[in-house]
Structure 1
Amino acid sequence: MSAAHRPGLRVNAALIIPESELSWRFSRSSGPGGQGVNTADSRVELVWDVANSAILPTLQRERLFERLGGRLVDGVLTIAASEHRAQLRNRDAARERLATLVADALRPPAPPRRATKVSRGAKERRLTAKKQRTDVKRLRRPPTD
């Protein structure tokens, strides 16, 4: 299925970014490719305006701003892909990278860890092991007369 026929970019089960909110920029890629690099616009930049997105609820928008703040420029997220020689493969790589990045940023935070005490059995085992280690090292010492 070509990029023009896709309904949008599926981030997770609940979120699909419509194609109308995504924009593309193409430029010449650096790196290997010989003469092809100088003529083909295979480098891809995928741009998504997070701040003005119509599909994001307030909570998700705030979470994206909080977790992707360093990557956003004026509320816009840009993903560049130039690892492949073909523009189409770079497009797919950029789409996949955007979906992964947004899905990870939207994931709810892990519940806080509850502190627990070390069990009595664990304490006893640790002390027993320390005593055994002490005995081994004591036996290695030269005898004192």
Structure 2
Amino acid sequence: MVGGWTLSAAELAERFSRSSGPGGQGVDTTDSRVELSVDVAGSASLPGHLRDRVLTRLAGRLVDGVLTVRASEHRAQLANRRAARERLVAQLRDAAAAPPAPRRATRPTRGSQRRRLEAKKQRGQVKRGRRGDWDA
């Protein structure tokens, strides 16, 4: 379930391959790396208003409207499948989230302006005190 809507398991495509990196014989024999893909552009369970938002926000990660997530940090395929699903859900949830409210412009208070100017004056006095009479 992602942000109030559920992604059907039938829409997910899993691929397994051998992981890279250290691990000795286990890496050479087990297909523990997981690639999880979902067709965001053609998803039937994704509401239309959210589909546009997700497609826009994930435009750099999509290939022909398909989002692919890889996981290979665990030795076990089951753990990598779980990690890939969690990563996919997190990305879809972040992309489907409502945009933040626009910032309301505010003005600095009179007290904060006064404190700022006093700090500037004091800093100038410190620098003036460092000057030497090199010309004399």
**TM-score scaled by length of structure 2:** 0.89
Question: Once structures 1 and 2 are overlaid, which stretch shifts more, 113-122 or 127-136?
Answer: 127-136
1:65 aligns with 2:58: no
Partner of 1:5: none
Partner of 1:105: 95
1:16 to 6, 29, 41: 6
Deviations 1:15-74 (A, max 9, x none): 221111111111111112111111111111111111111111111000111000111111
Displacement after TM superposition at 1:120 (Å): 1.7
CA RMSD of aligned residues (A): 1.8
Partner of 2:38: 48
Partner of 1:3: none
**TM-score scaled by length of structure 1:** 0.84
Task: Pick closer, same or farther for the CA change 1:55–1:134 going to 2, 3 Å.
Answer: same
Displacement after TM superposition at 1:134 (Å): 3.0
Partner-residue secondary structure (3-state), 1:59: helix
What is the alpha-carbon distance in structure 1 between the residues aligned to residue 95 and residue 48 of structure 2? Answer: 14
Partner of 1:93: 83
1:127 to 106, 111, 117: 117
Partner of 2:107: 117
- Structure with the largest fraction of strand: 1
Query: Match for 1:34: what amino acid?
Result: G
1:84 to 52, 74, 86: 74
Alpha-carbon contact 2:34-2:72 (below 8 Å) kept: yes
Partner-residue secondary structure (3-state), 2:7: strand
The answer for unaligned runs of 5 or more in structure 2 is: none
Task: Pick closer, same or farther for the CA change 1:27–1:122 going to 2, 3 Å.
Answer: same
